Structure 1
Amino acid sequence: MKFVIIEPLGVQDEKLLSMAKDALKDSVEIVYYNTRTADTQELIERGKDADIIAVSNLPLNSEVIEGCKNLKMLSVAFTGVDHIAMETCKKNGVVVCNCAGYSTAAVADLVFGMLITLYRNVIPCDKVTREEGTKDGLVGFELEGKKFGVVGTGAIGMRTAIIAKAFGCDVYAYSRTKKDVVGIKYVSLDGIMSTCDIISLHTPMNAETKHLINKENIALMKKNAVLINTARGGVVDSEALAVALNEERIAGACIDVFETEPPIKKDHPLLMAKNTLVTPHIAFATKEALVKRAEIVFDNVVCYLADNPQNVM
């Protein structure tokens, strides 16, 4: 059986292969490609003989899945699978497993890193200090006492909520599945949008969540409100959010994800919006998280080979 790691997974090559061999022993032939390509034909060439493929965020469209004739299982080194042709996988009987949980701490960390950076004017403060300036006009805000809304209370959303409580925030939540946690009040999405000073998004990207945050509910936000998106870019109507920011109807936004993977074109509306802090989809990307992710990738394969697949999507 052939196992192809079709792209780098963010762990140093020698360590990654050592982890793979330790986990899988001699149960599979391991082939590793340490370069990225988005070219459909090249991806088919890499995976055409593979029984199992590990992939991070390279787009595996229907043509790629169809071209990998032997493919039986995908171990996706990501939480979301919106870059995978899931319907084609289902049609072809390909088992798809994700890496839920690897980035819970990392993503929640970035939520508060970005928020405090924006709230306390860290970037302009750094700039003015280097230019022999002062704090004039750069006095910021603190988190204690703010109404903090979490949209989606899976593992990452719940960790974010707990950290917000530790900062002294009043925590509100909206989610399809409610959890009984002391200090977290579940309300409607409109309730989150109209009530909260800070709104942090933690939902998957699917047909139901596309533009979940849109012109209509952005209009409900308070003038002092900040929106944070470390989930998926398509969850937010970027044009509508940019308009609200530029018209100063809301106070700011922290954006780590866009409709496409970076590089993001310079004319993207959120790159030109006022009071917006942007990062190139780095929420999941810590040294620790990437090692955790690789461990889950290989454990997924081990479980699949033992006829006990885990993290099945």
Structure 2
Amino acid sequence: MPLLMNRTDIEVVLWSEDRLVTRAWLLENIKGAAGVLVLLTETVNAELLEAAGPNLRVVSTLSVGYDHIDLLLMAQRNIRVGYTPDILTEAVADLSVMLALMAGRNDGPTYSLAKNGEWAKYMHNWSPFTFCGPQLSTTASSPNRTVGFLGFGRISQATLARLVPFGITHCIYTSSPTSKPDTARDAALKAKHKLAAVERVDLDRLARESDVLFVLSPGGKETYHLVDATFLRKMKEMSVLVNTGRGTVVDSDALATALHEKWIWGAGLDVVEGEPHIGTDHPLVKEPRCVIVPHIGSATFETRMDMVTRAIDNLMGGLSGGEMPSELRVAA
């Protein structure tokens, strides 16, 4: 906040409560503003722009995603848009590996045993394979592990780097059909991590061959429910699905069925379609082999501080008519 509040050349109108701003307050207080810093939860649409008036020159969002911003309107009104890409790559990669481990090792039911004081009761019913799950790392009897990525951008590659010490041997991925294959990059990653393969494949192979599948693709119409019942039926019975990308990419009902009927072993989710309205009656919440956390991929002190700093730098750069460190190019 000192980056804004200590300046003498701007007037700052601040929502000072440590909770989401109300729409009514925002619409009232944005009147006449030259710039606005918003969260992912604020919809930047015609209503907001009309409330702001003609002085609005820059919208800076504290997020990587920008689905909440009407980009066509931004272009039509010549309003610059800043966002915070790259910064959360490492934090989301950390969480992706954490969820893979939690889902594979039955974190939900086993944690509940200890939390609810039922450890001793469980031991009375112990057997050699109680609460066993698929191991992420390779072993002498299981020397190969294939990780799959739906989307292979910065976060996927950072996640792969974290998985290499577990003994991952093969990496397969799919990318947008409009993107060109990057064989040079794949060869470099294969050599760097000493993998048997880094290979771009189709969705069918991605489903069939992945021991752990990481969903890290953007949202939108092109990726809506790419992971559906047909896809999930092709996956291995001992496979784990992790979604730290966008909730809409995975059909929640199909995933709940896949877990209930044991098409796959487990799932670890940071994002769920329809969030945050995910109650105890949600079919995925009811599945014991589904670990769900409430969209905390970037929730580290270090990452959030860097994101806020970038958002402010974007805001001030746009207000001054200068460079915005992370500007989203929009066109009418």
Both proteins in one fold, TM over 0.5:
yes
Distance (whole Å) between structure 2 residues aligned to residue 277 and residue 71 of structure 1 = 42
Aligned residues, how many?
A: 295
Instruction: Say if 1:202 and 1:229, in contact at 8 Å, map to a contact too.
Output: yes
1:76 is the counterpart of 2:61 = yes
Distance (whole Å) between structure 2 residues aligned to residue 211 and residue 27 of structure 1 = 48
Match of 2:133 among 134, 140, 155: 140
1:102 is the counterpart of 2:101 = no
Instruction: Say if 2:310 and 2:325, in contact at 8 Å, map to a contact too.
Output: no
CA apart distance, 1:37: 4.3
* Matched residue SS, 2:147: strand
**1:91/1:40 Cα in 2 relative to 1: closer, same or farther (>3 Å)?**
farther
Which residue matches 2:75? 90
Q: Which runs of 5+ in 1 are unaligned?
A: 1-16
Which residue matches 1:64? 48
Instruction: Say if 2:134 and 2:238, in contact at 8 Å, map to a contact too.
Output: no
**1:186/1:217 Cα in 2 relative to 1: closer, same or farther (>3 Å)?**
same
Matches within 5 A, 1:263-282: 263-282=277-296
Q: Which has the higher contact order (CA 8 A, sep 6+)?
A: 2
Instruction: Say if 2:217 and 2:223, in contact at 8 Å, map to a contact too.
Output: yes
CA apart distance, 1:312: 2.3
1:188 is the counterpart of 2:202 = yes
* Matched residue SS, 1:30: coil
Which residue matches 1:173? 173
**1:122/1:267 Cα in 2 relative to 1: closer, same or farther (>3 Å)?**
closer
Which residue matches 1:34? 16
* Matched residue SS, 2:41: coil
CA apart distance, 1:39: 4.6
**1:311/1:260 Cα in 2 relative to 1: closer, same or farther (>3 Å)?**
farther
Distance (whole Å) between structure 1 residues aligned to residue 149 and residue 30 of structure 2 = 39
**1:167/1:208 Cα in 2 relative to 1: closer, same or farther (>3 Å)?**
same
Distance (whole Å) between structure 1 residues aligned to residue 39 and residue 3 of structure 2 = 16
**1:30/1:61 Cα in 2 relative to 1: closer, same or farther (>3 Å)?**
closer
* Matched residue SS, 1:82: coil
CA apart distance, 1:265: 3.1
TM-score normalised by L of structure 2: 0.81
**1:239/1:38 Cα in 2 relative to 1: closer, same or farther (>3 Å)?**
farther
Q: Which runs of 5+ in 2 are unaligned?
A: 138-143
Stretch moving more, 154-163 or 205-214: 205-214
Q: Which amino acid counterpart does residue 175 of structure 1 have in structure 2?
A: S
The structure that has the greater radius of gyration is: 2
Distance (whole Å) between structure 1 residues aligned to residue 275 and residue 59 of structure 2 = 20
Q: Which amino acid counterpart does residue 305 of structure 2 have in structure 1?
A: V
CA apart distance, 1:53: 0.9
CA apart distance, 1:71: 2.0
Stretch moving more, 199-208 or 297-306: 297-306
- Which structure 1 residue ranges, 4+ long, deviate > 6 Å from structure 2? none
Q: Which amino acid counterpart does residue 117 of structure 1 have in structure 2?
A: M
